[in-house]
A and B are shown apart, each in its own frame.
Chain A
């Protein structure tokens, strides 16, 4: 049944309230079952052997001694995962990333795996596997990888997006360009031109729960996978394709998830676990260590970039240019292109261009990380915006307000914007008390803006009404940020019943139609839309049942406040029938009462944020401390404000860690030097003040409730907001993240001639 997706400014009774979260007790008492918490009779322990080399040819792998070790039930290499990808290079890259095929492309690349009866035997077995490597030259830096003569990571790659098409291999997998207008004319109009180059180091999503799964493949081809993932259907489709299983015979259940932030939108070791299980004919549990998560899963890109802005003295930006170089790890992707699309999206620019180079290096395959690619480009752009403001003597907020995109602006990536929230977030920042709070010695304030697209996608929801009138809502988007609460609220709103009467679950892949991966801030947007429609579908059934009960036409029945009401002169005296009453008699009116919806939820609506940051910098050590931080973001409609604020705070916290301390550090040997939380320092509670939030609600016209995604955008501004604050606090312009104490101290000493 088709429903209208347009926003209707509906009045709400449940939506917008701060109800109790349904998963809280399980999570704080330890009852919640994460990826590593599932067990099966006879299960084996899986372990992976990884390359210690950044780039090497694998001449041979001898697994014979490992196979003979008592307690070892299976050993697999690439030979156990034959190429079934039929020319699909993206799928082949996934296969090769799961298990090296004749060459190791980065430190940590899986080369073999074992399944044994316990962890000790599995570890011993790994040591018995002999891999004959021929070490090859490697490159891990994005700028070095672009130079002529750099070691070639993927000999099959010819640069896409340049004319004429190259005939020789290159580490530049793709060149992309976005923009409009005449840059030369725009820069000629400018009173001032500011150019600056920036670098950002590679960071990991840092989810607290490592990747984990329990795989079971039977001799009849029936398989099950319990896994921590953002995309159980993605897992099912990808694993089935790589292992030659029938999709319907691989049942994937998403566990409770201990963070993903984009890093769990891909398969990593799950096909290996299934291959081990198939070979051993036993269930296999495979849990990665933190070191393996850092070395063998997908962090975000490191980047380098050049930003150039021309402006008149009245603050009008006349031209803006970005040249972005993003490393995608050892496999081609579009992360640089995404940076180019987002770089200038906050502004209304007549002459604008962003050019992106996607570059291969000997590092792990890059994965999405919360608003992927946008934070790095924003670091360069928003830092340069502050330099322009200083050059023309204009307040940085006013400069941004003057140039902010608005409805009707042609976005730098092409389309014309509908109603958007960048202007309102800037006005809210300008008027926020934070902006007027006093600052002390060695303290400074900065601000910055950010943009993210948001997505919808394929979505499927079942709503089943029990015999007592309580409701089960089965969704296929993983709950990464409170969606079970929000979706229960939406179902309650539509049915006119209390929130507590709805229980939302994330269904397994055999129980519900396909759902796209929970990414792009789509969970509440798209499953929310499907829930609205599934509930309306159930209301249609409820009205039909009431009409049958009363023996009156269904068009004389309306649904209001959780009850069927008959209306019209001849029926108005009938007592309303509640959902409970209709549910109790469902058997006699046609059977179970349910609502369903399958939809491609598109038109997700873009999102903007503005952040304000106060920082103190110790000039003797370079150590900085965030004093105060405010996030202002457009949510479209905040279904559950606590969770929306939590998303704003979580994204800002990750951005702060990225800005100040987090980085992948590679040695000259191409090996990752800091694969652990002691040496790779994420932001912890003691590093952060209370992160204040302000929710703006500019409804998305393409959602019945006006919802926009909220999960990603607020990781975009922190890098630049902190750099701008640090510049005002310490008088140094930091152009390289992380802005760690040694780097800041060096900049302070250089600035003061020490």
Chain B
């Protein structure tokens, strides 16, 4: 799939527009890897042009 988004918030909004069933998963917690750095909470995080983006489970530590 191809989505244009400048921030994690915009990415999530557009994902839900396209795949409404994702909303509950995003609400429960999804982390986003942007160019290898994992962001669990900061939806304001900018996504640079051409960045590698991965959606990951929002995992916990000890």
- Name A205's closest neighbour in chain B (CB-CB): B62
Q: How far is the CB of A612 from chain B (nearest CB, A)?
A: 24
Known interface pairs A414-B56, A415-B33, A415-B52; A712-B38 also in contact (CB < 8 Å): no
0/1 string, A516-541, CB within 8 A of B gives 1: 00011110000000000000000000
Q: Does A702 contact B (CB under 8 A)?
A: yes
- Name A606's closest neighbour in chain B (CB-CB): B38
Question: Considering the chains assembled together, what is the distance between the CA atoms of A600 and B54 in angstroms?
Answer: 19
Q: Which of A12-20, A193-201, A448-456 contacts B (4 or more CB under 8 A)?
A: A448-456
Cβ B56 vs Cβ A413 within 8 A: yes
Number of interchain pairs (Cβ within 8 Å)? 87
Give the interface residue-count category, chain A: 35 or more
Q: Does B36 contact A (CB under 8 A)?
A: yes
Specify which chain B residues have a CB less than 8 angstroms from the CB of A519 in the assembled complex.
60-62
**Other-chain contact of B38, A369, A522, A602 (Cβ < 8 Å):** A602
Cβ B35 vs Cβ A338 within 8 A: no
Q: Which residues 25-62 in B have Cβ within 8 Å of A in the complex?
A: 28, 33, 35-42, 45, 52, 54, 56-57, 59-62
Specify which chain A residues have a CB less than 8 angstroms from the CB of B40 in the assembled complex.
455-457, 602
- Interface residues of A, dominant DSSP: loop
Cβ B37 vs Cβ A372 within 8 A: no
Known interface pairs A415-B52, A415-B54, A602-B42; A520-B37 also in contact (CB < 8 Å): no
7 closest A-B pairs by CB: A262-B62, A520-B61, A415-B33, A368-B62, A414-B54, A600-B42, A602-B39
Q: Does A629 contact B (CB under 8 A)?
A: no
Specify which chain B residues have a CB less than 8 angstroms from the CB of A337 in the assembled complex.
57, 59
Among B28, B38, B41, the most chain A Cβ lie within 10 Å of the Cβ of B38
Specify which chain B residues have a CB less than 8 angstroms from the CB of A261 in the assembled complex.
62
Q: Does A371 contact B (CB under 8 A)?
A: yes
Interface residues of B (CB under 8 A from A): 28, 33, 35-42, 45, 52, 54, 56-57, 59-62
Q: Does A666 contact B (CB under 8 A)?
A: no
Known interface pairs A413-B56, A414-B54, A415-B33; A603-B62 also in contact (CB < 8 Å): no
Q: Does A334 contact B (CB under 8 A)?
A: yes
Q: Does A458 contact B (CB under 8 A)?
A: yes
- Name B8's closest neighbour in chain A (CB-CB): A602
- Name B62's closest neighbour in chain A (CB-CB): A262
- Interface residues of B, dominant DSSP: loop
- What are 28 A-B pairs with beta-carbon distances under 8 A? A263-B62, A265-B60, A334-B57, A334-B59, A337-B57, A341-B56, A341-B57, A368-B61, A369-B62, A414-B33, A415-B54, A416-B35, A416-B52, A418-B35, A418-B36, A453-B38, A453-B61, A455-B38, A457-B40, A519-B61, A519-B62, A520-B61, A520-B62, A521-B61, A600-B41, A602-B37, A712-B61, A712-B62
Question: Considering the chains assembled together, what is the distance between the CA atoms of A90 and B56 in angstroms?
Answer: 19
Known interface pairs A414-B54, A602-B40; A368-B60 also in contact (CB < 8 Å): yes
Specify which chain A residues have a CB less than 8 angstroms from the CB of B62 in the assembled complex.
205, 261-263, 265, 368-372, 519-520, 712
- Name A709's closest neighbour in chain B (CB-CB): B61
Q: How far is the CB of B29 from chain A (nearest CB, A)?
A: 10
**Other-chain contact of B36, A205, A263, A370, A416 (Cβ < 8 Å):** A416
Q: Which residues 224-254 in A have Cβ within 8 Å of B in the complex?
A: none
Q: Does A546 contact B (CB under 8 A)?
A: no
Interface residues of A (CB under 8 A from B): 90, 176, 205, 261-263, 265, 334, 337-338, 341, 368-372, 411, 413-418, 452-458, 519-522, 600, 602-605, 702, 709, 712
Cβ B59 vs Cβ A338 within 8 A: yes
Specify which chain B residues have a CB less than 8 angstroms from the CB of A521 in the assembled complex.
61
Among B33, B35, B37, the most chain A Cβ lie within 10 Å of the Cβ of B37
Specify which chain A residues have a CB less than 8 angstroms from the CB of B61 in the assembled complex.
262, 368, 371-372, 452-455, 519-522, 709, 712
Q: How far is the CB of B6 from chain A (nearest CB, A)?
A: 17
Q: How far is the CB of A193 from chain B (nearest CB, A)?
A: 29
**Other-chain contact of A520, B35, B42, B57, B60 (Cβ < 8 Å):** B60
Cβ B39 vs Cβ A603 within 8 A: yes
Question: Considering the chains assembled together, what is the distance between the CA atoms of A334 and B59 in angstroms?
Answer: 8
Known interface pairs A415-B54, A602-B42; A702-B60 also in contact (CB < 8 Å): no
**Other-chain contact of B45, A368, A369, A602 (Cβ < 8 Å):** A602
- Name A480's closest neighbour in chain B (CB-CB): B62
Question: Considering the chains assembled together, what is the distance between the CA atoms of A415 and B52 in angstroms?
Answer: 7
Question: Considering the chains assembled together, what is the distance between the CA atoms of A521 and B54 in angstroms?
Answer: 22
Question: Considering the chains assembled together, what is the distance between the CA atoms of A600 and B31 in angstroms?
Answer: 13
Among B28, B41, B52, the most chain A Cβ lie within 10 Å of the Cβ of B41
- Name B44's closest neighbour in chain A (CB-CB): A600
Specify which chain A residues have a CB less than 8 angstroms from the CB of B57 in the assembled complex.
176, 334, 337, 341
Q: How far is the CB of B19 from chain A (nearest CB, A)?
A: 16
Q: How far is the CB of A81 from chain B (nearest CB, A)?
A: 23
**Other-chain contact of B41, A369, A453, A602 (Cβ < 8 Å):** A602
Specify which chain B residues have a CB less than 8 angstroms from the CB of A205 in the assembled complex.
62
Specify which chain B residues have a CB less than 8 angstroms from the CB of A457 in the assembled complex.
40-41
Question: Considering the chains assembled together, what is the distance between the CA atoms of A519 and B59 in angstroms?
Answer: 11
Among A369, A452, A600, the most chain B Cβ lie within 10 Å of the Cβ of A600
Q: How far is the CB of B24 from chain A (nearest CB, A)?
A: 11
Question: Considering the chains assembled together, what is the distance between the CA atoms of A643 and B54 in angstroms?
Answer: 34
Cβ A604 vs Cβ B38 within 8 A: yes
Question: Considering the chains assembled together, what is the distance between the CA atoms of A463 and B33 in angstroms?
Answer: 32
Question: Considering the chains assembled together, what is the distance between the CA atoms of A619 and B52 in angstroms?
Answer: 53
- Name B61's closest neighbour in chain A (CB-CB): A520
Specify which chain B residues have a CB less than 8 angstroms from the CB of A176 in the assembled complex.
57
Question: Considering the chains assembled together, what is the distance between the CA atoms of A49 and B35 in angstroms?
Answer: 51
Question: Considering the chains assembled together, what is the distance between the CA atoms of A549 and B57 in angstroms?
Answer: 53
Among A176, A413, A522, A702, the most chain B Cβ lie within 10 Å of the Cβ of A413
Among B33, B40, B56, B60, the most chain A Cβ lie within 10 Å of the Cβ of B60
